[in-house]
Amino acid sequence: MINAIFEYRFLQNAMLAGIVASIVCGIIGVIIVEKKLVMMSGGIAHTSYAGVGLGYFLGFEPIIGAFIFSVLAATGIYYLKKKAQARPDVSIGLFWSLGMALGIIFIALTPGYPPDLNSYLFGNILSVTRTDLYMTGGLAAFVVLAVSLFYNHWKAYLFDDEFAGVLGIKTSFLGYLLYILTAMTVVALIKVVGIILVLALLLAPSAISGLFCEKLFSRMICSIIFGIIFCIGGLWFSYAANISSGASIVIISVLCCAAAYAVRNLTVFRRKKEAKNEQLKPERS
């Protein structure tokens, strides 16, 4: 595959897309895991399906429609949570269902043969074009810039949002911004792993980095590295086995995450056993 990368443009695009997606995913994924917003990101991802369907129905780029609906869903969920005091799980479920239903209707109303939606639902990193790269790169740059500019505010917000408000930090602004950044991250990952599988790449690298790193910055860096490893490994496996690239990336991510937790639990068990043996030594003597 190494020789093929230098020979084929589509493999070069796929590699770059995986790296860029891993950067934005590693940064936002850590924040999502820390704030327990996993289901929220899933709701935004599935709501974006309505934008994909609208894009096919009206004849414009589906990924633009996905971006519009993702941002609308993100702001809507946060507004209902803060202003209407609605339960987050209820509002997420409603947007989740509404997005999928609208997407199905728009696709059904699209004239001609029904479009192939596999690349949007399950991802196809090998089909990424230069235009997709520019769009993903732009989204990633905005996410990195937003997190970098308010990095100290993010740390306080993640520690305790009420405490951050006492310090004079505008928590409502950070909340809206976080939800919008999550929406942008979802759009950046659609072509890589798809709407259905986006949660795995958001969570697995962040979860593994949380096992080895305590500081926020270190967790983000480790999450980015793990994401790149998973994307490149999944890309190589899909290219060699001629199977879905998005599914390959997700499978490798989940297996590595499960292995990391197994190793951590085994290590903790051994330490407890050793500590127990140390306590028993004086009694035996």
Using alpha carbons only, give the angle 89, 92, 96 rounded to the nearest 5 degrees: 135
Using alpha carbons only, give the angle 124, 4, 24 rounded to the nearest 5 degrees: 45
d(CA 48, CA 57): 14
Question: 91 vs 71, 95, 130, 157, CA distance in Å?
Answer: 15, 6, 36, 23
d(CA 108, CA 159): 46
The per-residue pLDDT for 283 is: 53
pTM of the model: 0.84
Closest CA to 34 of 170, 192, 223: 223
**Model confidence pLDDT, tens digit, residues 46-93:** 999 999 999 999 988 898 999 999 999 999 988 888 877 777 788 888
The per-residue pLDDT for 5 is: 59
Q: What is the mean pLDDT of the chain?
A: 85
Residue 104 pLDDT grade (very low, low, confident, very high; cuts 50, 70, 90)? very high
d(CA 48, CA 62): 10
The per-residue pLDDT for 39 is: 86
Contact 127, 119 (CB under 8 A): yes
Low-confidence winner among 65-69, 123-127, 138-142, 210-214 (lowest mean pLDDT)? 123-127
> Looking at residues 260-274, what average pLDDT do you find?
84
CATH number of the domain residue 142 falls in:
1.10.3470.10
> Looking at residues 159-182, what average pLDDT do you find?
84
**Residues counted in the chain:** 285
Tell how far CA 195 is from the center of its chain.
10
The per-residue pLDDT for 67 is: 92
Helices (H) and strands (E) in the chain, counts: 12, 0
Q: What percent of the chain has pLDDT above 90?
A: 28
> Looking at residues 93-117, what average pLDDT do you find?
88
Task: Decide if pLDDT at 249 tops 70.
Answer: yes
Residue 258 pLDDT grade (very low, low, confident, very high; cuts 50, 70, 90)? very high
The per-residue pLDDT for 224 is: 93
Residue 267 pLDDT grade (very low, low, confident, very high; cuts 50, 70, 90)? confident
Contact 174, 157 (CB under 8 A): yes
Contact 66, 223 (CB under 8 A): no
**Model confidence pLDDT, tens digit, residues 197-236:** 788 888 899 999 988 888 888 999 999 999 999 988 988 8
Please tell me the total count of domains within the chain: 1
The per-residue pLDDT for 100 is: 92
Domain that includes residue 171, residue range: 2-284
Residue with structure tokens 């895991």?
A: 33
